[in-house]
Amino acid sequence: MNINISLILIAVVIICCIFLNKLTSKTALPMLVVFIALGMLFGSEGVFKISFDNYHFAEDICSTALIFIIFYGGFGVKWREAKTVAAISVILSSVGVIITAFLTGMFCYFIMKMNFLESLLIGAVLSSTDATSVFSILRSKKLDLKYRTASVLELESGSNDPWAYMMTVIILSIIRGNVTTGGVFSIIFSQIIFGIGIGILISVLSMIVLKNIRFDTDGFNTLFVLATAILSYAVPTFIGGNGYISAYIVGIVLGNTSIKNKPELVNFFDGITGFSQILIFFLLGLLATPTLMVPTIIPALIILVFITLIARPVAVFLSMMPFKFPFHGQLLVAFSGLRGATSIVFAILAVVDEAYTNSNLFHIVFSIVLISIVVQGSLIPLVSRKLHMIDENENVLKTFNDYRDETEIQFIKLNIKRHSSWAGMKIQDITLPTGLLAVMIIRNDEKIIPKGSTVIMPNDVMILGAEGFYDNTNLDLTEYTIFRKHKWKNKKISEIKIPNNGLVILIKRQNNILIPNGKSTIKEDDVLVVMSAHKIKV
């Protein structure tokens, strides 16, 4: 194929993916399904008839893309919220995954009459869950879950891929026949110890660099973090460790560290992670052959029913039992264990391995994932409501922030105290700066769209909207977490010296957002958001 034609085709595919991504963000249709369908449309049995069956190339690309997805999955974890459910999530992502893999493997062996090691391999590649699909559904349907269930699902789904990968590697080593029982324990030890140890080491070193070195060229700190993400996977993998565990740990540490230009980092990794997901899904669709999938649909459906109704619930109940998590919450966590793209990627890893070259495994797993996302995923909102797991105290600012991401509108919240000068006044009688608009009043559980005659009452929450500010200078927003021995603890804002003549513009305290003044006292576990700009006079 002519290079120019190839470039045009690549550009068309990317543009299609971009517009389809906008479509998936507005609907409950998971991204995975849409881009896999697009890949199949371009595939050998689709409209464009692109012949692609290079499993080795697909495995290399998908494994690389997973580095950024898993790293950024850790980077996006809000540890202040997640730490309360960390123990539950870690047990689910390790013990729960192992139980799911074992039960699924035994089912495939005794009921589906598959080869023993092949059965265990299927259990391993299907043992992890997909966070992207679950959260696209929760987000599109604006489902806020009780008991921090969303945090449990987020942390579990982000951290269980390394365990599924480790089991897949171990079983493939056994199939090759070049590993003993002692060798299996050696693999487990090196995967966990090297993965965790190097992840912690790289986290510490990268924090030292990011906190103490200011890069002369804008954007170099982003490139440094990108290189760190790659190293966090490559170094432990090179010596036999679990690179995905390492990447996830480094992501969590850096994501919860006060580093410069974090908004730029978030925007960059949003883009690269979104593109990585699109690339994986499209390649998987391109690799799939519909005619080969048809014979696998019935076995895939049977295996998925067993995982959904027996293996996953047993794993969840056994893992969460010691934590006395509400029963309805356990049921929803069990049902929300959707199979995802990582399962298909691990299936490709198995197919290209010299010990196991049966591509039928790929199509079985592919069919299971599609059915899981389309059928099981579509039922999550219904199951959530039936189990009374929806938190009706919806955070309206979350919806506003979603809208703000695509517009130049910014929203702020004002609490109207009893002694406020606005209390008892009509909207038309208060003086707002030009360009600022009262867009909503929250009164108890009622949401009011205000008019000029609307009276502001004590304890109202007013939502104001204004045009957003976008700056091309070196304006920095930095987070400072106040630990138990932090020098700012129990001091007033006016008493502390902030680097670079910074200004504390916001304090995050537990679940509250505070706008401080000089008399505000800093407490343990506060997160201070500081604005600074080296070329701006103060």
Query: In this structure, are 462 and 375 located in the same domain?
Result: no
CA distance 252 to 74: 4
DSSP, res 483:
-
Query: In this structure, are 167 and 240 located in the same domain?
Result: yes
Whether residue 64 lies inside any domain: the answer is yes
Q: Kindly report which listed range (134-143, 176-185, 266-275, 515-524) carries the lowest average pLDDT score.
A: 134-143
**Residue keyed to tokens 């960390």:** 86
Task: Using the predicted structure, report yes or no on whether residue 407 has a pLDDT greater than 70.
Answer: no
Confidence at residue 470, expressed as pLDDT on a 0 to 100 scale? 52
Task: Using the predicted structure, report yes or no on whether residue 231 has a pLDDT greater than 80.
Answer: yes
CA distance 8 to 426: 59
At residue 190 the predicted structure's pLDDT band, cuts being 50, 70 and 90, is very high
Whether residue 399 lies inside any domain: the answer is no
In angstroms, the first-to-last Cα distance of the chain is 60
Task: Using the predicted structure, report yes or no on whether residue 400 has a pLDDT greater than 50.
Answer: no
Confidence at residue 101, expressed as pLDDT on a 0 to 100 scale? 96
Q: Identify the CATH number of the domain in which residue 119 sits.
A: 1.20.1530.20
Whether residue 398 lies inside any domain: the answer is no
Can you name the residues that pair with 182 across neighbouring β-strands?
none
H-helix or E-strand spanning residue 123: helix 116-125
At residue 178 the predicted structure's pLDDT band, cuts being 50, 70 and 90, is confident
Higher local confidence (pLDDT), 402 or 28: 28
CA distance 365 to 168: 14
The number of folded domains in the chain is 3
At residue 151 the predicted structure's pLDDT band, cuts being 50, 70 and 90, is confident
Higher local confidence (pLDDT), 81 or 74: 74
Confidence at residue 42, expressed as pLDDT on a 0 to 100 scale? 83
Query: In this structure, are 366 and 433 located in the same domain?
Result: no
Query: In this structure, are 455 and 498 located in the same domain?
Result: no
79-132 per-position pLDDT tens digit: 777 778 889 999 999 999 999 999 999 999 999 999 999 999 999 999 999 877
Q: Identify the CATH number of the domain in which residue 492 sits.
A: 3.30.70.1450
H-helix or E-strand spanning residue 414: strand 409-415
User: Which conformational region is residue 398 in: left (phi greater than 0), alpha (psi within -120 to 50 degrees), or beta?
Assistant: alpha
CB 144 within 8 A of CB 393: yes
Percentage of the chain exceeding pLDDT 70: 88
Report the mean per-residue pLDDT for the chain. 83
Confidence at residue 402, expressed as pLDDT on a 0 to 100 scale? 41
Quote the distance between the C-alpha of residue 13 and its chain's center: 24
Characterize the bridge pairing of strands 461-467 and 446-448.
unpaired
Query: In this structure, are 125 and 270 located in the same domain?
Result: yes
Across 391-404, average pLDDT: 47
Confidence at residue 468, expressed as pLDDT on a 0 to 100 scale? 63
Task: Using the predicted structure, report yes or no on whether residue 352 has a pLDDT greater than 80.
Answer: yes
Query: In this structure, are 255 and 134 located in the same domain?
Result: yes
CB 245 within 8 A of CB 195: yes
267-303 per-position pLDDT tens digit: 888 888 878 888 888 888 888 888 888 889 999 999 9
Higher local confidence (pLDDT), 106 or 212: 106
Confidence at residue 75, expressed as pLDDT on a 0 to 100 scale? 87
Please identify, among 371, 386, 401, the residue that sits at the C-terminal boundary of a domain: 386
H-helix or E-strand spanning residue 505: strand 503-509
Both tokens assigned to 136? 């696209």
CB 441 within 8 A of CB 472: no
Edge-first strand listing for the sheet containing 512-514: 475-481, 527-533, 503-509, 512-514
Question: For the whole prediction, is pTM greater than 0.85?
Answer: no
Query: In this structure, are 431 and 495 located in the same domain?
Result: no
Query: In this structure, are 150 and 250 located in the same domain?
Result: yes
Percentage of the chain exceeding pLDDT 90: 31
Query: In this structure, are 236 and 335 located in the same domain?
Result: yes
Confidence at residue 500, expressed as pLDDT on a 0 to 100 scale? 72
Note the maximum CA span of the chain.
Answer: 82
Whether residue 168 lies inside any domain: the answer is yes
CA distance 180 to 436: 70
CA distance 232 to 226: 10
Across 321-347, average pLDDT: 91
Whether residue 402 lies inside any domain: the answer is no
CB 249 within 8 A of CB 199: yes
Task: Using the predicted structure, report yes or no on whether residue 312 has a pLDDT greater than 90.
Answer: yes
Confidence at residue 394, expressed as pLDDT on a 0 to 100 scale? 46
Identify which of 294, 275, 384, 289 has the alpha carbon closest to the alpha carbon of residue 334. 384
Whether residue 426 lies inside any domain: the answer is yes
Query: In this structure, are 200 and 242 located in the same domain?
Result: yes
Whether residue 400 lies inside any domain: the answer is no
Q: Kindly report which listed range (30-44, 202-216, 316-330, 467-481) carries the lowest average pLDDT score.
A: 467-481
H-helix or E-strand spanning residue 474: none
Q: Which of 243-257, 298-312, 378-392 has the highest mean pLDDT?
A: 298-312
3-state SS assignment for residue 185: helix
Query: In this structure, are 141 and 278 located in the same domain?
Result: yes
Beta-carbon contacts of residue 166 (< 8 Å; ≥ 6 apart): 187, 188, 191, 192, 242
Residue 104 is part of which domain span?
A: 3-48+55-386
Amino acid code (one letter) for 150: A
Whether residue 397 lies inside any domain: the answer is no
H-helix or E-strand spanning residue 503: strand 503-509
Higher local confidence (pLDDT), 359 or 381: 381
CA distance 395 to 537: 37
Query: In this structure, are 350 and 441 located in the same domain?
Result: no
Identify which of 373, 344, 230 has the alpha carbon closest to the alpha carbon of residue 280. 344
CB 303 within 8 A of CB 103: no
Amino acid code (one letter) for 473: T
DSSP, res 496:
S
Buried-state track 193-231, b at ≥16 Cβ within 10 A, e below 16: ebbbebbebbbeebbeebeeeeeeeeeebbebbbebbbb
Across 41-69, average pLDDT: 84
Cα angle, residue 171 at apex, residues 167 and 173 outer, rounded to 5°:
115
